[in-house]
Structure 1
Amino acid sequence: MIDIKLIMENPEKIKKAVEDKARVVDIDKIVSLDKEHRTQINEIDRLRHQQKQFGKDNIEEAKTNKSELKALEKKSKIIELELGKLLAQVPNPADNFVPIGDESKNKIIETVGKIPKFNFKVNDHIKLGEKLNIIDVKRASKVAGSRFVALINDGAKLQMAIFQYVIDKITSKGFDFVIPPHIINHQSMQGMGYLEHGGEQETYHLEKDNMYLIGTSEQVLGPMRSNEIFSEKELPFRVCAFSPCYRREAGSYGKDTKGMFRVHQFHKVEMFSFCKPEDSKKEHEFFLSIEKEIYTELGIPFQVVLIATGDLGDPTSAKYDLEAWFAGQQKYREITSTSNTTDFQARRLNIRYKTKAGKNELVHMLNGTGASDRPFIAILENNQNSDGSITIPKVLVKYFGKDKIEVK
């Protein structure tokens, strides 16, 4: 949630920010409701003060005043709720260096690594996985339906090797490590800003308990610190998490229907940080540098993309994607992202830090992908050999135990 002062001081600027993110929110209505609500609060304060002045000789006047006060408090509560719902729909304005427009305006700012060349017919990860007996789509679909995959044998081992390498890389840089809950309450999910503008449709909602399966561990890492105050010396406070993730993919009908690229359940290593506002841009670049280091060491070619306003989520002010080369698709596709959400989530969750001057200020919060299931796909497709075997990246050999997956 953004600070309502920003709206009241410059409503036209916020209207433009909302438009840039391709959202529709009635900013004029927010301004009108806020003015009305402030007038009501002033009147309520006046009536409360007046109520205290009445004595035994003013019983009838006191009754009338009390009745007016009760009616106005009820009306004010209704306005407050309506205002809150509208404010929750206002996205975090994009940073001023972010390209304006839809995904066609996403800007490639760097390309790293060489695209592999093959002198044989390239297979996608599913064909490779089935031949090597490391991916089982048929039996996963039998128990769960479409968009589910089972990794077996060396496939499962390679996936875990990737995750362990990435966890070691991130924690070596001073991050705490946590395996968090992957079911959270409504307040936590809403506090992170993922339920507005169709976000509810992307989540798995356990209606009997009003709980949600997380779509990424950032959705639990933020709320774990709700209503807490960091000391300034604790910041930046960085966490690395490993968790399963669940997404309905309601908005991706017909996209990536085969294989592992877009599934309902996957695992992910996530980076998260709470920092001082003046440090969040530097922290964002730090997260990006870690992602680049990981995928350079894995030998996966990638490009760094600055995401345009219309392709940003509600909480995000700026976002970089790493798009890796997938030989089976012959194109770059998203493999990681890192986002700066400034104080948008912290305001909802009431996460603050105490400055040296003793004042409590909102922290800024950032997140970034260490690894999901997609590096596994890229390694299979990019490192395939003519005999169907897969060459394991050097940095993974000590985790995987050998340098190849071979056809048996």
Structure 2
Amino acid sequence: MGLQCCFGGTAIQTLKLAAIPASSSSSCLILKPISKTLTFNFFPRHGNHNPQRFPFSLIARVRALSTAPAADRILAKEVAKPQWKATIDFKWIRENKDEVARNIKNRSSNANLELVLELYEKLLALQKEVERLRGERNVVANKMKGKLEPSERQKLIEEGKNLKEGLTTLEEDLLELTDELQQEAQCIPNMTHPDVPIGDEKCSTVRKMVGNPHEFSFPVKDHLQLGKELDLFDFDSAAEVSGSKFYYLKNEAVMLEMALINWTLSEVMKRGFTPLTTPEIVRSSVVEKCGFQPRGDNTQRLLWVGFIWTLSFLSRCCL
């Protein structure tokens, strides 16, 4: 979805919102008045320009299209039914409980191992009960194949009916329990190699060095320092929006990236390719199979944008 942002009759930038499938059916952009003001730094970089202030907070709320009806929306506190089922060795998890728990802790996962094991034990017990009723029902069905007195046949019919009703209820419970177990178990992370260091990036170890580092006769500056000095990166504004370790490209860095993209497009077009832009929509089951496990409300995607002090957030289409 594209939205043209205008202030005082002047078009500033087109804000594009990319929707991700959830269980809603609308997309909306809200401009909410606030007491503070936002400063937008207008481009171009070179030349005189005066920052302008506008008394509003930009709040972008994205809801994606879905075929699910409104009545079937999943509440945050309910257990969402998994759209696919991974092959999980629950027996191995139970036999290696301590190792799995240690791996969950080392990977800072919020998986609930105790709940998984508890649900697994309930599943085994329920499966045994279902198999028992199925066996009894088969026995009754075999008895009815022979010659019986009307009273005895009627008795077997009633017994078979009761067994069928009980089996139907247990099978429904078994299906719900299976879905709940699968949902919880898929949060357990894969086991890491014993040699993997525990901790953040500072704990990483060098496994192999290839070649020799270049030696310079002057103080060397890395890309971070060069980018800051040349005003090519903006870490502070990005950190306010997306958290630490995010960045915005600025000025010539943006132009360089766009030039590389345009060059690539022109090269592939020479070879008969047709450029297309499409909606950024993904099936939630595909995302789930890729290992993405959302830790919050999965019914909608909310992007809150406020107290941003540069126009770069809008101009680079961060959403």
Task: State the TM-score, normalized to the length of structure 1.
Answer: 0.37
Which structure carries more strand by proportion? 1
Question: Relative contact order (alpha carbons < 8 A, sep ≥ 6): 1 or 2 greater?
Answer: 2
Higher Cα Rg: structure 1 or 2? 2
Task: State the TM-score, normalized to the length of structure 2.
Answer: 0.46
